[in-house]
Structure 1
């Protein structure tokens, strides 16, 4: 069988992002009235493919563009360039009517569980709100039945349906957010740091809940987090971002067993290890300098001002992801196997 025949037999990706860019015009303080606004490149050329039932983990420092990327995928912010394809259909240029239909299949869980819930609505009304929007023909009794079922599924007692968000803990509020996202039975859920505001023990419960729901419902996940140990536990592939650009992309196994980019190596070395002896003797790779301004990023490789491998060449050439399908790196000083898997 030829390579083209093999490609034709492969299932169509659920989500395909190609060269996505999200830029913002920023009016600078104390600038002359005729001075043009600066451009903040929040997302600058991100590409990846996500198949049904898989999880893509997105990691990087605060301000690297992770949340903006998530919002651009779902259409909460507009993309300046690139494509977001949902089962081959372009979401960037889709009509409002087409986007409305697709949004039933793409839902989002936000970082702050309490702030994402309307304090004046009962949790029953909060979870049922998507049903009222997309299925207005359902009766009140039918909506209540569906809400009770999904509450039980995420570990909430159905008899709490008439309570308000402030009566729940942070972990319970995040379960309410998960229930609201699942009520339409979507195919993809974008999780924007869903456990960062929770205690460690509650984080584990929420992560295990998401994994169980994913296995049960065949969900695909885009999981954004700072904690690499959490990303390793839940992700099939991982994207490392820095100042809006991709640094490394690969399968979770390949990336965690052989981190190749200096930035990824530094992030990995910062993850605490439960064994005190190993933690005491491990080599920590600290990054020098401060995170550059995203309005005035360094020329060439945006990571060069903090990179231990950088030289004069890095100031003039912008690296692109190179490697195989399972593991690619954007670094001029790292040699990757470019054979396709």
Structure 2
């Protein structure tokens, strides 16, 4: 059996921002905000990795670190063996053709002073400056058709399009240089539900046709399940669980994963959410002062003294979990979590 080399292999990726001194105490030392705290994962060619977690868990920061928009430490090895972390803008230019990004706000990510044709053509002019104008225009029109836009709209401006159409423009701009990896940072969260389905199906079709790999970041776990081959669960910048989508959704081992999945809406009028949801007590801790040991322990219904003393390692074969006491929560633990929430 031939082993496929990962397209991207990430090891101990960390992003830390230094926060200035407190205005009330100007003599205090600067503090470090740990946005991403040692993330490990690999991505194979043509695979989709879903990334989920609450707001503030480091999902978008992780995406920006991979493409060099924020400084990072650790290692992110591309398939050619080059470490992408720490590359200069000039060194990174080669890999920007290979790795493109689709942003969360479709309209805000497009230049309002440029036509659709200019927006989609901009990466071509940057990475393939030798192309003639006629060839650039032909490629832009072909890409517009591929993503479901009419070529005769090439001279229109972003404000003349709906949110779903603007996201298609963003996808066309990302695909025009024929990348191998697309990072989608919550690409459907600003769209209506019916339009979300259209954009997701478009990404699935384009991935199949073009052999793309995707990193798909989202809050909606039902969307992530539909599009992803594997899912990685982040909490406070750390990986709680990662594994094949079907396995992780059918049998989540980490209490945080169980809480997230229990909150997914069920389209059944007879379903009582209060009877199945695993509540999370308290708020997300500040990344300026994360808990000792397991970062999830302050909200975990299963936390014990060991959880405060030791950081759990991400362990497992096909499915990996970072928990000292993995496994489904018992009815007693769920009941205790509900009592804590209402207290």
Q: Does 1:82 align with 2:74?
A: yes
Separation (CA, whole Å) in 2 of partners of 1:23 and 1:264: 25
Q: CA deviation at 1:297?
A: 1.0
Give the whole-Å Cα distance in 2 for the aligned partners of 1:279 and 1:189: 38
Per-residue Cα deviation, 1:235-284 (whole angstroms, up to 9, x for no partner) = 01111000001100111111001111110000001000112224558511
Aligned residue among 251, 264, 270 for 1:271:
264
Partner of 1:147, secondary structure, is helix
Q: For the Cα contact (< 8 Å) 2:51–2:233, is it kept in 1? A: yes
**Structure 2: runs of 5 or more not aligned:** 329-343
Provide the residue aligned with 2:166 in structure 1. 173
Question: Does the alignment pair 1:329 with 2:308?
Answer: no
- Secondary structure of the equivalent of 1:89? coil
C-alpha offsets along residues 23-55 of structure 1, whole Å, 9 cap, x if unaligned? 010014335333221110000010101000000
Q: In 2, are the aligned partners of 1:272 and 1:279 still within 8 Å (CA)?
A: no
1:138 positional shift: 1.2
- Name which of 300, 305, 308 aligns with 1:312: 305
The 8 Å contact of residues 16 and 86 in structure 1, kept in 2 or not, is answered as: yes
1:339 is matched with none
Report the secondary structure of 1:276's partner residue: coil
Contiguous gaps of at least 5 residues in structure 1 = 1-5, 337-341
Query: Secondary structure in 1 aligned to 2:276?
Result: coil
Match of 1:3 in 2: none
Conserved in 1, the CA contact under 8 Å of 2:71 and 2:86?
no
CA contact (8 A) 2:254 2:327 kept: no
State the shift of 1:335 in Å. Answer: 6.3
Q: Where does residue 52 of structure 1 map in the other structure?
A: 45
CA–CA distance in 1 between the matches of 2:106 and 2:145?
A: 18
Query: Among 141, 155, 171, which residue is 2:148 paired with?
Result: 155
Q: What are the Cα deviations for residues 265-319 of structure 1, in whole angstroms up to 9, with x where unaligned?
A: 0000100011222455851101111111111111111111100000122111111
CA distance in 1, matches of 2:271, 2:316: 31
Does the Cα contact within 8 Å between 2:186 and 2:219 map onto a contact in 1? yes
Kindly state the Cα deviation for residue 92 of structure 1 after the two structures are TM-superposed.
Answer: 1.0
Alpha-carbon separation, structure 2, partners of 1:71 and 1:183: 20
Residue 39 of structure 1: aligned partner: 32
CA distance in 2, matches of 1:309, 1:239: 21
Cα distance in 2 for residues equivalent to 1:178 and 1:198? 14
Separation in 2, partners of 1:57, 1:136: 34
Whole-angstrom distance in 2 between the partners of 1:185 and 1:289: 45
Does structure 1 retain, via aligned residues, the 8 Å contact 2:43–2:49?
yes
Matched residues in 2 for 1:50 and 1:265: separation? 24
Asked if residue 186 in structure 1 is aligned to residue 179 in structure 2, the reply is yes
Q: TM-score, normalised by structure 2?
A: 0.93
